[in-house]
Amino acid sequence: MQIIIGDKSYSKKIIQKNLIEKYFLIGSLFLFAVIYFIFFISKAKIPNPESFVILFSMILGMLIALFYIWMFRKLDKILNKKDNNINKARAGEAGELAVLNKLKTILDNNYFVFRNFKIPGRKFDVDFLIIGPKGLIVMEVKNSSSCFTFSEIEALRIMGAGFTQEVTKLMGNADPRIKLKNHCKSLNYYLYSIGLKELRAKKVLVFVNGSISIEGKAVIYIVKKLEELTLYFSGLNDDKRFSSEYCLIIVEKLKNSLEKSK
């Protein structure tokens, strides 16, 4: 298996973005507190005990304390959200690495694997774009501890159990099947634009973790756990069009197109 590293993964970009925002917020608050403390000390005077200044100072101090409590609560919510985004992105990155290591044991040197393939002009990336004797395969990886149920008409995410169980119906791109379909549409348009008009990608959704159940038809192929990835590839028929020479032509066209877009 020949690995072609693409753009920085979407997960890594999310991690970097949220870490920068998180430490910027913490740093800004710390700097504000230091500046305010220095200003307060420099302007502080002992008030006349017989004047109303003492009462005013006490009220002002209480208001400032309430403001800081409110601000810290708001900041805590924001930081928790940032940490949640970072943890999800790190789980996604770990899932992709686990799939990559599994692919190394499944695919021989006749396969080319683009990791984090970014279509020029698009914000998203394709986790794995695989080119080889079995055709062109687009692989989306999910690494979540939630339970998912898929049927032909809906996708449900189930979190928790018992009285705390929360069931969410996934709509639009929140449904990983629809997200994968939309990515493949964009990819097909892109392939057409660079002269690969006859190519159509096979779609596969790979779950690394979690519990997956499928009721009836799932619309696209779903690998319910990492161990079943070998079964998926063994079940695919070879595509006679994808000779070694043809695969090299596809790879070179993709590389040249990506170089021009930089």
Q: pLDDT tens-digit profile of 86-136?
A: 878 788 888 899 999 999 999 999 999 999 888 888 888 889 999 999 999
Single pTM value for the model = 0.76
Q: Specify if 161 maps to a domain.
A: yes
CA distance 53 to 51: 5
Give the rounded percent of residues in the chain with a pLDDT score beyond 70.
Answer: 84
**pLDDT band for position 56 (50/70/90)?**
low
Inside any domain, residue 153:
yes
Whether residue 247 is contained in a domain is answered as yes
Higher pLDDT among residues 83 and 66, named by residue: 83
The chain-wide mean pLDDT, for the chain, equals 82
Least Cα distance to 128 among 139, 119, 118 occurs for: 139
Evaluate whether residue 16 is within a structural domain.
Answer: no
Domain region containing 254: 2-7+109-261
Give the rounded percent of residues in the chain with a pLDDT score beyond 90: 32
Q: Is the pLDDT of residue 51 over 70?
A: no
* pLDDT at 39 > cutoff 70: no
The 3-state DSSP class for residue 15 equals helix
pLDDT-derived band at 140, boundaries 50, 70, 90 = very high
Total domain count for the chain? Answer: 1
Rounded mean pLDDT, 163-176: 86
Is residue 159 situated within a structural domain? yes
Pairing of strands 221-223, 2-5: unpaired
Q: Which residue has the higher pLDDT, 8 or 69?
A: 69
pLDDT at 224 over 70: yes
Mean pLDDT of 129-151: 91
Q: Is residue 40 part of a domain?
A: no
Residue 233 has pLDDT above 90, yes or no: yes
Q: Is residue 82 part of a domain?
A: no
**Helix extents (H) in 46-114:** 53-106
E strand map for 76-223: 112-117, 126-132, 135-142, 147-151, 155-159, 166-169, 202-207, 211-215, 221-223
205 located within any domain: yes
